[in-house]
Amino acid sequence: KEFRNNVKPNWCPGCGDFSVQAAIQRAAANVGLEPEQLAVISGIGCSGRISGYINAYGLHGIHGRALPIAQGVKLANRELTVIASGGDGDGFAIGMGHTVHAIRRNLDVTYIVMDNQIYGLTKGQTSPRSAEGFKTKSTPEGSIETTLSPLEIALSAGATFVAQSFSSDLKQLTMLIEEGLKHKGFSLINVFSPCVTFNKVNTYEWFKEHVVNLDQFPEHDPSNRMAAMNKIMETNGLLTGLIYQDKVRKPYEDLAVGFKEQGLAKQSLELTREEFDKLVKEFR
Ligand code: SF4
């Protein structure tokens, strides 16, 4: 079960995305997957390169479109475990429409967002996750927009799995990805993954000081949506851990009428003349 390949990541030394790569590789092995059972689909951005750094099926897609591709892969072959990944700009700006609808559709896909609160690949512009007042070359006087809260949006959109972690906490991050992979439905895992080159505010030190580990609240019930929303708001979106999980709702694949358990590649193509005519008629 070797999910490492011999491609050397070209992320900056110290980039938080290295930990996400390691956590995915460990989690996939820990849940008993083989490389040929996993597909990693990514969008565009520094973090989008991750699909090339894991020994599994991979597709580096287009900006903001990791989720449509990942959902297509899952629909074509539900026997594959599918991870979608990308950055906060990719998923919460240009890709936000896809993100919200993938959440409410609830296909069995694990979506890992490397949230560094800036655009790194294009050399440091304000992203939807940047704080109000954040100064970059695109907002030299400080951002005048509010910060988008992906966890609140996910819960409002009917998410069945919402988690958050931090690149420095490899143990928690690996555990959450394992839980996301095991979850039957769509799982959102937002990861604070510092950009050491362009974001000089939200650094490792800043996150260490500000994140609030859910372990501090042993009374928290992750099946309670209202309690999850309250905890996210009380901690200003800096909560880490498995915040919400609905184990009851079935994934899209189980509810779609006529959707077959077997992957398309394994379904028989042999049809009687009557079956063939019926199929053609359906598509007229
Ligand atoms: Fe990571 Fe930032 Fe470097 Fe991109 S620019 S590789 S996000 S540290």
Is residue 94, in this structure, part of any structural domain at all?
A: yes
In tens, the pLDDT along 153-203 reads 999 999 999 999 999 999 999 999 999 999 999 999 999 999 999 999 999
Is residue 145, in this structure, part of any structural domain at all?
A: yes
198, 201, 203, 204: residue to mutate for ligand 1 pocket, most atoms within 8 A of CB: 198
Is residue 11, in this structure, part of any structural domain at all?
A: no
Give yes or no for residue 203 CB within 6 A of ligand 1: no
Residue 275: the pLDDT is 85
Is residue 4, in this structure, part of any structural domain at all?
A: no
Is residue 7, in this structure, part of any structural domain at all?
A: no
Residue 202: the pLDDT is 97
Q: How far away, in angstroms, is 192 Cα from ligand 1 center?
A: 13
Q: How far away, in angstroms, is 14 Cα from ligand 1 center?
A: 8
49, 121, 192: residue to mutate for ligand 1 pocket, most atoms within 8 A of CB: 121
How much is the pTM?
Answer: 0.94
Residue 276: the pLDDT is 84
Is residue 10, in this structure, part of any structural domain at all?
A: no
Residue 49: the pLDDT is 97
Q: Which domain holds residue 73?
A: 17-282
Residue 1: the pLDDT is 59
Q: What CATH number is attached to the domain comprising 212? A: 3.40.50.970
Which residue stretches of the chain have pLDDT < 70? 1
Give yes or no for residue 21 CB within 6 A of ligand 1: no
3-state secondary structure the chain: CCCCCCCCCCCCCCCCHHHHHHHHHHHHHHCCCCHHHEEEEECCCCHHHHHHHCCCEEEECCCCCHHHHHHHHHHHCCCCEEEEEEEHHHHHHHCHHHHHHHHHHCCCEEEEEEECCCECCCCCECCCCCCCCCCECCECCCCCCCCCCHHHHHHHCCCCEEEEEECCCHHHHHHHHHHHHHCCCCEEEEEECCCCCCCCCCCHHHHHHHCEEHHHCCCCCCCCHHHHHHHHHHCCCCEEEEEEECCCCCCHHHHCCCCCCCCHHHCCCCCCHHHHHHHHHHCC
Is residue 6, in this structure, part of any structural domain at all?
A: no
Q: Whose CA is nearest to atom 6 of ligand 1?
A: 11
Is residue 12, in this structure, part of any structural domain at all?
A: no
Give how many domains the chain has, as a whole number: 1
Q: Is 148 exposed, middle or buried (0-12, 13-18, 19+ CB in 10 A)?
A: middle
